[in-house]
């Protein structure tokens, strides 16, 4: 099935490293979209992979928690590629780990500023153009922690749950403008971050919790995102799709 994204301009945030952001960008590009890559780190490797496939793509440095930076970058994307029609809100940080009582207010606030307010900043910057064009696709990347909670991840889980509320509200507001908004909530994926960040015994427990008894592949999330951005998904909005190998099921 072709998703018909030829001629569309997609913006993927958090696309620097070999993780979900890169997978989203590659899957959208594979369906014909031009791709703007945005991250607080350089997206050189992701950009190289896209250009090698003959994809029209550009990369931009930006701290999404700063609205003035976001506005400036979105103006440049408009000049370079055109109006953003597809937005994948992937950028977030998971650097605050510890039990709730041990997390400082400053660290908690930092996660809120990037994961919630940063997501709002980027969405706010593209939303008026989507309304004007009467077409848009917004996908928010939440997490299994956002839908089920996570011990030792209270700030991350809180922020990832918040984007679900934002998505559902925007789905209601965007419907009359032919804009859909959906959430994809990945489980534990086969990424460098997961395998470097999570202790081996903990990772084994997570794998055993999933009905499929394996880590997810990054492209399995990326393909879900690409589908939600297509015309084939035009009647799907305000939904939370968990791509988690059945980790949320009762497993024994």
Contact 135, 90 (CB under 8 A): no
Place of tokens 């990326």: 222
Give the angle 223-121-232 at the CA atoms, nearest 5°. Answer: 30
- Looking at 156, 186, 210, 244, which residue is catalytic? 156
Token pair for residue 73? 């970058």
The order of strands in the sheet holding 57-61 is 57-61, 34-39, 9-13, 86-89, 136-141, 179-186, 240-243
DSSP character at residue 215 = P
Euclidean distance between CA atoms 196 and 125, whole angstroms: 34
Pure H helices in the chain: 20-30, 44-52, 67-80, 105-111, 119-133, 144-148, 154-174, 192-197, 200-209, 218-228
Active site residue 60: no
Place of tokens 């709002």: 120
Q: Which own/partner contact pairs does 51-54 have at CB distance under 8 Å and 24+ positions apart?
A: 53/29
Which residues pair with residue 32 across a beta bridge?
A: none
Q: How many CB atoms lie within 10 A of CB 158?
A: 19
**Residues known to be catalytic:** 156
């Amino acid at each position: 099935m072709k998703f018909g994204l030829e001629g569309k301009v997609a913006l993927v945030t958090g696309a620097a490293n070999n993780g979900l952001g890169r997978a989203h960008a590659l899957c959208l590009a594979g369906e014909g979209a031009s791709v703007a890559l945005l991250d607080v780190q350089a997206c050189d490797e992701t950009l190289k992979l896209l250009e090698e496939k003959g994809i029209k793509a550009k990369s931009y440095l930006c701290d999404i928690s700063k609205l003035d930076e976001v506005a400036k970058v979105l103006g440049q994307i408009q000049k370079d590629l055109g109006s953003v029609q597809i937005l994948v809100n992937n950028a977030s940080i998971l650097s605050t780990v510890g039990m709730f009582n041990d997390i400082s207010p400053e660290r908690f606030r930092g996660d809120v500023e990037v994961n919630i307010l940063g997501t709002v900043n980027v969405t706010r910057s593209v939303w008026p153009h989507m309304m004007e064009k009467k077409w848009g696709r917004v996908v928010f990347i939440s997490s299994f922690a956002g839908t089920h909670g996570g011990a030792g991840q209270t700030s991350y889980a809180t922020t990832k749950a918040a984007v679900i509320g934002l998505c559902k509200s925007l789905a209601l507001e965007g419907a009359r403008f032919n804009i859909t908004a959906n959430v994809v909530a990945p489980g534990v994926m086969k990424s460098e971050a997961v395998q470097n960040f999570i202790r081996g015994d903990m990772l084994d427990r997570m794998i055993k919790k999933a009905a499929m008894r394996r880590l997810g592949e990054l492209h399995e999330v990326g393909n879900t995102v690409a589908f939600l951005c297509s015309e084939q998904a035009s009647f799907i909005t305000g939904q939370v799709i968990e791509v988690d190998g059945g980790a949320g099921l009762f497993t024994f």
